[in-house]
Amino acid sequence: MLDGINWIGVVVAGVVGTVSGGLWFGPKTFFPLWWRLMGHEPGSTTNPGGNLSMGVVFGSTFVAQIVQAAAMAVVINLAMRAGSATSFGVVDGLIVGLVAGVGFTATAPLGHRLFGGHGFGVWALEVGNDILNCVLMGGILAYMQG
């Protein structure tokens, strides 16, 4: 199952997911809205990581992106094996990423956010980036494994 995985592709996809998250939740993009929706005042000095250092937050996030990319690589590899190798391309990888993003990544945290009192807005902002990352990872991995 792990043979045929392009591990350089996994690292590239993990880095792209991390950069995408940084851009998505940057100070000029969605972070201010997400912060308000989380119940914080704009400009407050509360650490988004709670009692964790930002090094731990960013490091853990990067490791999670690598794990997600590795799991996506396994799925892409299995999908490529299920069909003919010549008929599985980047678009197929993008579609696999979209299905994984919407079907698994976006649905799992919905109950957590709603029961936690954060509402649909926080959930939508967070999973929007998760879906985008899955799509990007799927395309990258299909290209690099193909």
Q: How far is CA 37 from CA 25, 126, 132, 145, in A?
A: 13, 11, 21, 39
* 19-47 mean pLDDT: 89
- Give the total number of structural domains in the chain: 1
List the domain range (segments joined by +) for residue 132: 7-41+54-145
Which residue matches tokens 């000029």?
Answer: 28
**pLDDT class for 84, splitting at 50, 70, 90?**
low
CB 72 within 8 A of CB 100: yes
What does pTM read for this prediction?
0.90
Residue 82's pLDDT is what?
A: 81
27 occurs within a structural domain: yes
46 occurs within a structural domain: no
Res 45 pLDDT > 70: no
Distance, C-alpha 36 to centroid of its chain: 22
Listing DSSP states for 22-41 in one string gives HHHTSTTTTHHHHHHHTTPP
CB 145 within 8 A of CB 103: no
Distance CA 135, CA 142 (A): 11
* 17-22 mean pLDDT: 96
1 occurs within a structural domain: no
90 occurs within a structural domain: yes
Per-residue pLDDT tens for 88-141? Answer: 789 999 999 999 999 999 999 999 999 999 999 999 999 999 999 999 999 999
Residue 81's pLDDT is what?
A: 81
- Mean pLDDT is lowest, of 28-32, 75-79, 92-96, for 75-79
48 occurs within a structural domain: no
Q: How many CB atoms lie within 10 A of CB 59?
A: 12
Higher pLDDT, 81 or 28: 28
CB 103 within 8 A of CB 134: no
